[in-house]
Chain A
Amino acid sequence: GAGVSQTPSNKVTEKGKYVELRCDPISGHTALYWYRQSLGQGPEFLIYFQGTGAADDSGLPNDRFFAVRPEGSVSTLKIQRTERGDSAVYLCASSRYRATNTGELFFGEGSRLTVL
């Protein structure tokens, strides 16, 4: 597709359940980012992939959060044993690789997660 695609757009789950959020980046973009945005706040960095590997996962809040990008394209953010505090919009972005600095990020529309 022409832009970054995220599914589902909305997910309502119960506390303790497992959730997967999917991101399909722009074709040819080797860098992929996950951010989390709470209401009225700016995006908070979670994890960054360069190709298949997680180059920086310093933003993942705890070990209930995990992300993969097995073929260097689509990425899945996985949240185990969800808690009410995980409720937020999860944003995915992709960009062309730049060795020495971060260029323009192209964002998807986000996946809104609500944990009841």
Chain B
Amino acid sequence: SQQGEEDPQALSIQEGENATMNCSYKTSINNLQWYRQNSGRGLVHLILIRSNEREKHSGRLRVTLDTSKKSSSLLITASRAADTASYFCATDAYAAGNKLTFGGGTRVLVKP
């Protein structure tokens, strides 16, 4: 079973708009990570947020973490056509050992 579930499953926006996607999980975590996957390619790490952090930024990416609600969000600001990809959250849960459990992903289409 998957620990994290992303919402929405798919998102279509115009270039320049912001894209927000959410991740909910079930059990206590060490950290939560976001990955990006272009069609037919491997996953690329975007950002890691620890359980004692609430917000983190990296370039046009902003990640929040609310451990009381067991949820995280990824915001991509000023989106570009090149941001078109699938985005996955992955949790490093205390109970799961040293491995990441991935959600089903959000497929983002940025139209030029």
Contacts and interface: CB of A to CB of B under 8 A. Distances in A.
Interface of A: 4, 31, 33, 35, 41-45, 48, 50, 55-56, 91, 93, 98, 100-110
B81 to A, nearest CB: 22
Nearest to B41: A109
Contacts of A35: 102
B45 A43 contact: no
Given A48-B98, A101-B98, A105-B43, 8 more contacts: A42-B88, A56-B99, A91-B42, A101-B92, A102-B31, A102-B99, A109-B42, A110-B42
Interface residues of B, number: 23
Nearest to B45: A104
Interface string B16-45: 000000000000001101010000011111
Contacts, number: 66
Contacts of B98: 31, 48, 50, 55-56, 98, 101-102
A42 B30 contact: no
Contacts of B99: 33, 45, 48, 56, 102
B59 interface: no
A72 B33 CA distance: 26
Contact of A42 (B33, B45, B92, B102): B102
